[in-house]
Structure formats: structure tokens, C-alpha cells
Amino acid sequence: MKIEIALPQLDGDEPGILRFENVELLEIDNLTMVIDSPLYGIDLSANVHSATVQRCTITNTNRVSGGGIMIRNGDPRPAEATSGIVVRDNRIESVSDEPLAVFGWKGMTENIRIEKNTILAQGASFGITAYGIDSVKHTGKIQNVRIVGNVISGSRIGGIGIKGGAQFVEVADNVLKDPKGDGIFLHTGGEGLPSVHDIRIYQNKITNAGRHCIFSTGAKIHIEKNEIRNCAQAGIYVAGDVSVINNVITYAKPGILVDGPQRNDIRGNDLRNAGKIVILSGAGSVSK
């Protein structure tokens, strides 16, 4: 199926090309979409339960807006959560918005598995995102997300972005290549937005980052056993309640950069041609 849509840029609450609301037991399998659209190709927009999107190929070449797959919830709490969503074995390409975005928006989005996808994000903001809100006007939350075994190439801001109050997110066994910004980006996402917490980042391979390979701010962030190589700036940037344990960092400036007064557990890391552990300010408890 080839679809081409020429429309003016629309706000984020406008429909995707294929939009689903109040749906249970949905399966999208082996669908091909080639689009030039400011919209997302597939939009699970509200109150979707037990859905699988697999073995699809989605390409969006629009350079203004639009992405591949969005999972979100437009029904404010206490309405039911969008939950039980699996996105696996897809090939998704976008050159502006995220190829794959998981978003709280107005309500709760939870129990999401994103696994074994090939993500092409040259020119896109992020490759994969998980965030509760990206505006103080939003009321959504996101929790219990697993991002596992994906291969992500490119992106302007980050290969994987976790922000806007996301909680209980696991990022493991992913391969991230050539992001112009950070490899993995953990942040509020903007002024006045909530910080992320209870995030586990482990056993990822990150290469050739244009800024930091991992940029981590928030609470209860655990970064362990990642392989990091060729970072224009720090291998791992730390600000907040973050533990950094048993990572291998090669060619970074510096290996680990700790910014601000906080408690950190930094130990067992192997820094190879990556400078030192640098503390800019504060009294972090640092060991190597």
C-alpha cells in the first residue's frame, strides 16, 4: 500500500493516517506504508488494549512533521489506560518526527514492549521516545515500558529519548549508531516538566555520538554494562540520583562527567582513551 497525503501541518492531537481508539485485541501484521505526510502512519490514540504491530515497513519522507508509529492516550484519567501494546520486528523510517513515539499525552499509557525493530532516524528528532508529557498543558503519564533489542541509526537529539515524567522504563540490548546529539537522552524534556525516575539502562551498544553517548538526569537512574565508543563529549553525563556501574567507555571527553550536587554511585567502569571521571561541582560520592 502506498499512500501520499498533502496537508498543512496539523497539531499533535489530529489523527494519524490509520487511527485506532477504544479498540481491544488489535493486530497489525505485515503492512507496508510509504508516505509523505505530516501525520504518523499508525496512531493508537486512546484506550487501546492488547494490540500488536509487527513485521511492518513504514517510511515517512515528510521533512516538516510526521513519523511512523505513535502510541498514546487521549482519554484523561480516570479513563482506562492504553496498555498491553507490543511493537516488534518492524522497519520504521522517518526524517522529521520520531519513527516510534510512546506518549502519555492526556491519560495513562502503560505496559508497552518495543522490541527488535530497525529504526532509521536520519533527520528525525529521536529514534524512539517514551514520555509522559511534553507540555505543561498535558496531564498524561507513562510507565512500565521495555525498549529491548532495537537497532537505531541517526537522530538529531537522541537515539532513544525518555522524558516528561516517564517511570519504570527499561532500555536494554539496543544498538545505537551515529546520533548527532546523544545516544540515550534522559531528561524532563523542558522547563516545568517532571523528571524521569526508576529507569534502567543496561547492555546497550552506543557508537559515534555527536554529543554524549548517555545523557542522564533524574532519580533512581541505573546505568550498567553498556558499551560506549566514540563520543564527541562525555561517554556518560550524570546529573541527579544516578548510578553508573561496570560500563566500558572508549574515546570520550571525558569518560564520565558528573554535574551538580547529588549522590552518585559510580564504580567499576573501564575507561579506555576516555579521560577521567570529572566532577564539575557538588559533593558526589565517586569511586572508580
How many Å separate Cα 174 from the centre of its chain? 11
Q: What's the CA gap between 83 and 71, in Å, rounded?
A: 9
Note down pLDDT in tens along the chain; length 288 residues: 444 555 554 454 455 688 999 999 999 999 999 888 888 999 999 999 999 999 999 999 999 889 999 999 999 988 899 999 999 999 999 999 999 999 999 999 999 999 999 999 999 999 999 999 999 999 999 999 999 999 999 999 999 999 999 999 999 999 999 999 999 999 998 888 999 999 999 999 999 999 999 999 999 999 999 999 999 999 999 998 999 999 999 999 999 999 976 778 999 999 998 778 898 865 444 444
Q: With residue 147 as reference, give the H or E element that holds it.
A: strand 141-148
Q: Are 62 and 96 in contact (CB under 8 A)?
A: yes
Which residues on neighbouring strands pair with residue 258, listed in sequence order?
A: 238, 279
Which residues on neighbouring strands pair with residue 172, listed in sequence order?
A: 148, 202
Q: What is the DSSP letter of 268?
A: S
Which grid cell is 182? Answer: 546523544
**Angle 185-147-144 from CA coordinates, rounded to 5°:** 95
Domain ranges of the chain: 18-211
CATH class of the 18-211 domain in this structure: mainly beta
